Amino acid sequence: MELSKEIQEFLFNDAVERFLRYVKVWTTSDQNRETVPTTKNQFDLGKLLVEELKALNLEDVIHDEYGFVYAYLPPSEGFEKKTAIGLLAHLDTSDAVSGKNVKPVIHQNYDGSVIKFAQDKGLTLHFVDSPLLEKYIGLDIITSEGDTLLGADDKAGIAEIMAACAAWHKYPELKHGPIAICFSPDEETGLGITKVDEKKLPKICYTVDGGEMGELEYECFDAWRATFIFKGLSVHPGYAKNKMINSIQIACNFFSELPEAESPQHTEKREGFYHLTRLQGIAEEATAKVIIRDFVEKHNQKRIEYIKKLKDAYEVRYPGLEIQVDFLHQYQNMIKFLEKKQIIIDLAKQAIENSGLELLMHPIRGGTDGSKLSAKGILTPNIFAGGLLFHSRKEHIPTLALQKAAEVLIYLAELWTKEK
């Protein structure tokens, strides 16, 4: 099957229109909260999607107490017994940059010049920031106005899944088996998927949450988080000699001993790192969080052991100091689960190639909901959504990516109907 020009144009227009609408809905999650959802405003986009899914005649549309949106697309006639697949994207955006009052801007027929932002005259976007922009000359590029992120992570994925659903509704010649739709809260905090109703998902799913057009990802970090409490003693600074135990100053010294070469700003490709994400406190007590990442779990275990030894050394170095550190295994490298059923990856590869894109295979220097789902037995690789420079005010996406990701989903569903 090759998609007609009419269907391609429909997917383009529908996906772009939805994306421009969705990014205006404020759905920032909160890394400092432990509830699901961490922010109530994630329900706002969920409510909108529920109504749109119902309008497309999807069945069993549910918006649950945790903010998840579930829906079911019945199979084309004659394909009832074909393998069911699931399509997932997440509702929230990162709290690294404001996601409130996003105003998307379309830079039409991008000519390769420096992109400027209306709300921040000193902010620019060019090849040095995003080398792929050079490949996108001649395309339309969407950014924010520079005072917020854009929200392509992951409202692009939502728009692409919804555009595919709209095409399946409008063009019955597009054949597919049973399809489950799931839009999840709090992917950015890593908490949302812990509340997923696994019974509503088939054993084969795909997240639409990757970057560059053509990407397929089925390997991610093994991920840990270390939470620290430094307990010291506050004494009047005029009389503090040999008495004060300044927790926050000691914490600064402690984290300066993490290898600088193993920090995010000095690593790439398959290199792991420590990343201090939060440090706050006073002389009496300080708290901190560090994330630990690598593709190989035993490498992370070495980092954990280093932290434990450093803790012991500091408690000897500063008598009376107490350091509490707790380690949490956040998610596993999903490759060890996905390799067990190669067809899931092979059909995604073929779908990307059928869309006319070059297939790009990269490990994810991060994680997706798919990593936790795969560990639960719901095998879930990650298909591109098309956005770049996620979590920043320079975030951008070519409009063509919105169309192409939707095309890939159409081809993918059709390919699964041919599997026995």
Residue 97, domain CATH: 3.40.630.10
Residues 207 and 349 in one domain: yes
CATH number at residue 243: 3.30.70.360
Residue where one domain finishes, among candidates 305, 330, 355: 330
pLDDT of 420 reads 73
Residues 128 and 211 in one domain: yes
Active-site annotation, residues? 92, 187
Residues 277 and 228 in one domain: yes
Residues 311 and 380 in one domain: no
Residues 406 and 304 in one domain: no
Residue where one domain finishes, among candidates 330, 345, 380: 330
Cα 349 to Cα 215, 295, 415, distances in angstroms = 9, 22, 11
- Asked if 97 and 31 count as a contact pair (C-beta separation under 8 A), the reply is no
pLDDT of 368 reads 78
pLDDT of 190 reads 85
**And the tokens for 383?**
């298909």
**And the tokens for 38?**
């961490």
Nearby residues of 295 by Cβ (< 8 Å), 6 or more positions away = 219, 220, 221, 222, 270, 272, 333, 363
pLDDT of 366 reads 82
**Strand ranges inside 128-221, DSSP E:** 141-143, 179-184, 205-210, 215-217
Residues spanned by the domain of 405: 5-220+333-416
Residues 68 and 211 in one domain: yes
From first to last of the 420 residues of the chain, give the pLDDT tens digit.
899 999 999 999 999 999 999 999 999 999 889 899 999 999 999 999 999 999 999 999 999 999 999 999 999 999 999 999 999 999 999 999 999 999 999 999 999 999 999 999 999 999 999 999 999 999 999 999 999 999 999 999 999 999 999 999 999 999 999 999 999 999 998 899 999 999 999 999 999 998 999 999 999 999 999 999 999 999 999 999 999 999 999 999 999 999 999 999 999 999 999 999 999 999 999 999 999 999 999 999 999 999 999 999 999 999 999 999 999 999 999 998 999 899 999 999 999 999 999 999 988 888 779 999 999 999 999 999 999 999 999 999 999 999 999 999 999 999 999 987
Residues 309 and 359 in one domain: no
Burial of 192 (0-12, 13-18, 19+ CB in 10 A): buried
Residue where one domain finishes, among candidates 330, 357, 373: 330
Cβ neighbour number for residue 31 with a 10 Å cutoff = 17
Residues 30 and 172 in one domain: yes
**And the tokens for 243?**
């008495």
Residues 274 and 153 in one domain: no
Residues 38 and 176 in one domain: yes
Q: In which residue are the tokens 């609408």 written?
A: 21
Residues 176 and 298 in one domain: no
Q: How many independent structural domains does the chain possess?
A: 2
Residues 114 and 162 in one domain: yes
Cα 345 to Cα 86, 218, 338, 410, distances in angstroms = 14, 8, 8, 16
Instruction: Evaluate if pTM is beyond 0.85.
Output: yes
- Asked if 396 and 124 count as a contact pair (C-beta separation under 8 A), the reply is no
